[in-house]
């Protein structure tokens, strides 16, 4: 185990031992663009703001990284393992009715569903060790979607309210509300759902 300390920040490496003089020992730990380098044999002199998702080559080598930082005078900690992307999800439910004029079955008639909406935000951790505050995520989804759709006839909300079009509309509303959604799942029934995700980077 190696511990690297700067003013208010301590980085603790738990993982495969790094032999003195080895290539791993000589490699600096790059935190982020424009930030100081952490060297396994020394420490940075200046405070820095870190983002776990984009720093430290040790992560890519499968090490266990533990970071402690002093934020706003308080001590906080983050524990990241491997090069795993961090995402947070909140789940919501609402009751609503709809009918599909084009449908040849029972869905042509007015009927209701107990919808479930899962909203995911992914990204780097901020100085408080979170991707997004759960309270913020909850309040935006509640305000922009749930309060507008719960106990409504969804045909009055959008034309042709299929699960797919409702999911797309929910994404649009959340984006307009300032939420950086990375994935969304709308359940129409316990066994039927729609998934929306961001396209893979080209």
Give catalytic status of residue 188 as yes or no.
yes
Give catalytic status of residue 151 as yes or no.
yes
Catalytic residue among 13, 55, 63, 188: 188
Catalytic residue among 45, 72, 151, 200: 151
Give catalytic status of residue 90 as yes or no.
no
What residues contact residue 200 under an 8 Å CB cut-off, 6+ apart? none
Catalytic residue among 10, 12, 107, 113: 107
Instruction: Say how far apart CA 181 and CA 197 lie, in whole Å.
Output: 9
Backbone conformation region of residue 22, classed left if phi is above 0, alpha if psi is from -120 to 50, else beta:
beta
Q: 170: how many CB neighbours lie within 10 A of its CB?
A: 25
* Cα–chain center distance at 90: 10
- Show which residues are catalytic: 107, 151, 188
């Amino acid at each position: 185990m190696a511990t690297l300390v700067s003013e208010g920040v301590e980085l603790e490496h738990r993982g495969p031992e790094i032999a003195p003089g080895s290539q791993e020992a000589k490699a600096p730990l790059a935190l982020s663009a424009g930030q100081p380098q952490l060297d396994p044999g020394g420490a940075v002199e200046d405070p820095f703001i870190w983002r776990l998702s984009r720093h430290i080559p040790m992560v890519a080598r499968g090490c266990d990284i533990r970071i402690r930082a002093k934020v706003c005078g308080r001590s906080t900690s983050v524990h990241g393992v491997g090069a795993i992307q961090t995402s947070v999800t909140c789940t919501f439910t609402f009751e609503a009715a709809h009918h599909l004029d084009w449908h040849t079955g029972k869905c042509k008639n007015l009927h209701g569903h107990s919808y479930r909406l899962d909203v995911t935000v992914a990204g780097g951790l901020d100085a408080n060790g979170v991707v997004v505050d759960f309270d913020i995520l909850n309040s935006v989804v509640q305000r922009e979607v749930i309060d507008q759709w719960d106990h409504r006839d969804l045909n009055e909300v959008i034309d042709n309210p299929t699960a797919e079009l409702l999911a797309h509309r929910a994404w649009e509303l959340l984006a307009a509300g300032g939420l950086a959604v990375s994935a969304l799942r709308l359940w129409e029934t316990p066994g039927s759902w729609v998934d929306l995700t961001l396209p893979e980077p080209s």
